Amino acid sequence: MSPALRSKAAIVGIGATEFSANSGRSERRLAVEAVLAALADAGLEADDIDGIVNSDFDATNQLDIVNALGLANIRAYATIPHGGGSPCGTVAQAAMMVTSGVCECVVAYRSLNERSGHRYGSADAVPAYPWVFGLHAPYGLVVPGEWTAMHARRRMIEFGETREQWAEVPVTFRAHANRNPRAMLHGKTLTRGDYLAAPMLAEPLCRYDYCLETDGAVAYLVTSADRARSLRATPAHIHTAVQATGAPVWYQTNWYRDSLTTGAEVVAAARQLWSESGLSPRDIDVAQVYDHFAPLVLTALEDFGFCGKGEGAAFVGEGRIAHGGALPLNTAGGLLSEGYIHGWNLILEGVRQIRGTSTAQVEDVEFSLVTSCWGAPTSALILSR
Amino acid sequence: MTHTIQAWPRPLPQIDRDHAEWWAGLARHELLVQECPRCKALTFPPEPACPACRSLERGWRRSSGRGRVFSWVVVRRASHPYFADKVPYAVVLVAMDEGFRVVGSFEGPLDALCDGLPVEVGFDDVNDEVTLMRFRRVG
Ligand SMILES: [Zn+2]
């Protein structure tokens, strides 16, 4: 996103359904509920919406929203690809649609019955595996946890990391979820002992290294910074939003490029993010880092420049990433403990931190970072007051 | 995770035209890697053009079949029902001596696995089109 667009658009409404293991409703219905909640939050009407953005992998498409809500004013729409890499990219897209003057009010949403419906981790939907998936599925590396274990092992080899060190991430995020009544695991504590005692699934990973599977939907509304001034919510300005692929990049199976412990796509996104924002990691007050798997949070922090390569385990130690620490992370519980809306719920928490309404609120937040998936074509976002 | 009990076939690749020659190599019990006829860059997984020099001309080189374990996963709870009775099993990422990496099964004691373990490829024919790689320790 060009610096010329910096903070010219803002997120002015956020909405979500409950996050559950079985929504009992269609993904269409969940999406529409989230959109209506975002409109109510912003004090806008459905007829104000003139643009729609969503992600691929969604079981719904824009027409489902248009038809359910009778949206007659749509002028532009887009679907941003690459699954968990897409969320912050949808913010970049919405900001471009608004700052270009094509749209005045863009809604973006993500809806999924990931727990009760088809699960990404499930093997039942794919009889034969295309593209690079065919190179590893026949050997029994079928789901993202099994792929990620290859990367996690390499952190142990290269940096001497231990599971004792990795525990800091899921235990801290669970503590944040314990403060957040919306979190799926709000009522369940997680200790370091629980983590270390958990059986291995795809060694060296256990279930607490894995993100949740969730039914639910989230939505947000973007309008111009000018119009945002007249609305009720504190605007979360879209300071900078970027997309990047790096090269080469596959989906979570980035075993064929030089390093398993550096994400070419995240390094590329970070370079763009810092140069286009004029900011540095030191300026970030709070961050929501895509946590599909706990050890990858360390890799992402390094790739974004919060610490040097191989220093991730030390960086997350001593309470730095906890509420009250120097860089609180995933303050709603993240994908590990709040819910897994494919990374989109991280955007909503990033907005809450700007508004001052998080259940693990950081004081005086000026810059709130949100990142999308490590290991796929990705994106990142800085929100500001 | 629960799955309907039925006869689950082994997950197999959909062999597309860009990967077909590589799979044909395995069927002949040869591990191939794409080698650019113009700039000699090795490319794996196969691509329709050379990422180094952008040539559309594609060529192949046969690997010695020897390499070293670069990383590995031990699956202790199967995600796919075909593998339910095969746990625990190890899958290795091998850095071949020529300078490319492939994934394959590991045959041998799990506690032998370590970074840099020297291994050699073997071949398991699954059907007329698909042959898989199995690595075992050498030396
Ligand atoms: Zn070439």
CB nearest A142 (choices: B11, B88, B132)? B11
Whether the pLDDT of residue B5 is over 60: the answer is: no
- A337 in helix, strand or coil? helix
At A117 the pLDDT is: 83
Mean pLDDT of B74-91: 96
In the reported structure, the alpha carbon of residue B49 is separated from the centroid of ligand 1 by a whole-number distance in angstroms of 8
Nearest-10 Cα torsion for A131, A133, A137, A139? 80
Say if CB A362 and CB A329 are below 8 A apart.
Answer: no
**Hunting for tokens 């003057």 — which residue is that?**
A101
Q: pLDDT tens across A323-362, in order?
A: 999 999 999 999 999 999 999 999 999 999 999 999 999 9
Please report the DSSP string for A18-54 in residue order: --BS---S-HHHHHHHHHHHHHHHHT--GGG--EEEE
Phi, psi of B109 (to 5 degrees): -65, 135
The Cα angle at residue A230 between residues A229 and A235, in degrees rounded to 5: 40
Q: Which residues of A touch B9 (CB under 8 A)?
A: 127
Mean pLDDT of B52-69: 98
The Cα angle at residue A198 between residues A194 and A203, in degrees rounded to 5: 140
For residue A68 the two structure tokens come to 């359910």
Decide if the complex's ipTM is over 0.85: yes
B123: left (phi over 0), alpha (psi -120 to 50) or beta: beta
Structure confidence at residue B8 as a pLDDT band (50, 70, 90) = confident
**Within a 10 A sphere around the Cβ of A364, how many other Cβ atoms?**
8
At B2 the pLDDT is: 46
By the CB criterion, residues less than 5 angstroms from ion ligand 1 are: B 36, 38-39, 41, 50, 52-53, 55
Fold of A3-118+212-384: Peroxisomal Thiolase; Chain A, domain 1 (3.40.47)
At A30 the pLDDT is: 98
At B6 the pLDDT is: 53
Asked if B25 is an interface residue toward chain A (Cβ–Cβ < 8 A), one would say: no
Q: Which residues of A touch B48 (CB under 8 A)?
A: none
In the reported structure, the alpha carbon of residue A267 is separated from the centroid of ligand 1 by a whole-number distance in angstroms of 25
Q: Facing residues of B102 across strands?
A: B94
Query: How many residue contacts between A and B have a Cβ separation below 8 Å?
Result: 128
Integer Cα distance of A107 and A25 in angstroms = 21
Mean pLDDT of B87-100: 98
> In percent, how much of chain A has pLDDT > 70?
98
For residue A136 the two structure tokens come to 């590893």
Please report the DSSP string for B1-64 in residue order: -----S-PPPPEE---TTTHHHHHHHHTT--EEEE-TTT--EESS--SS-TTT-----EEEE--
- A213 in helix, strand or coil? coil
Q: pLDDT tens across A307-328, in order?
A: 999 999 999 999 999 999 999 9
- Known catalytic membership, residue A256: no
Dihedral sign, Cα of residue B131, residue B132, residue B137, residue B139 = positive
pLDDT profile of chain A (385 residues), mean per 10? 92 98 97 98 98 95 97 98 97 98 98 84 68 95 97 98 98 98 98 98 98 98 98 97 97 96 98 98 98 98 98 97 98 98 98 98 98 98 98
Of the candidates A372, A38, A314, A310, the one whose C-alpha atom is nearest the C-alpha of residue A165 is A314
For residue A344 the two structure tokens come to 């989109």
At B1 the pLDDT is: 43
For residue B51 the two structure tokens come to 């990422």
Report DSSP state, residue A59.
S
Integer Cα distance of A35 and A219 in angstroms = 5
* Polymer length of chain A: 385
The Cα angle at residue A295 between residues A112 and A257, in degrees rounded to 5: 90
**Within a 10 A sphere around the Cβ of A97, how many other Cβ atoms?**
25
For residue B2 the two structure tokens come to 């629960």
At A118 the pLDDT is: 67
Say if CB A241 and CB A1 are below 8 A apart.
Answer: yes
Q: Which residues of A touch B104 (CB under 8 A)?
A: 139
Integer Cα distance of B135 and B32 in angstroms = 15
**Within a 10 A sphere around the Cβ of A45, how many other Cβ atoms?**
10
Burial annotation A124-148 (CB, 10 A radius, 16+ → b, else e)? eeeeebeebbbbbbbbbbbbbbbbb
Q: Provide the shortest C-alpha distance from residue B130 to chain A (in Å).
A: 10
Say if CB B20 and CB B26 are below 8 A apart.
Answer: no
Report DSSP state, residue A333.
-
Q: How far, rounded to the nearest angstrom, does the alpha carbon of residue A103 sit from its chain's CA centroid?
A: 25
In the reported structure, the alpha carbon of residue B35 is separated from the centroid of ligand 1 by a whole-number distance in angstroms of 8
The pTM of this model reads 0.96
Q: Which residues of A touch B103 (CB under 8 A)?
A: 135-136, 139, 141, 255
**Within a 10 A sphere around the Cβ of B44, how many other Cβ atoms?**
19
- Known catalytic membership, residue A120: no
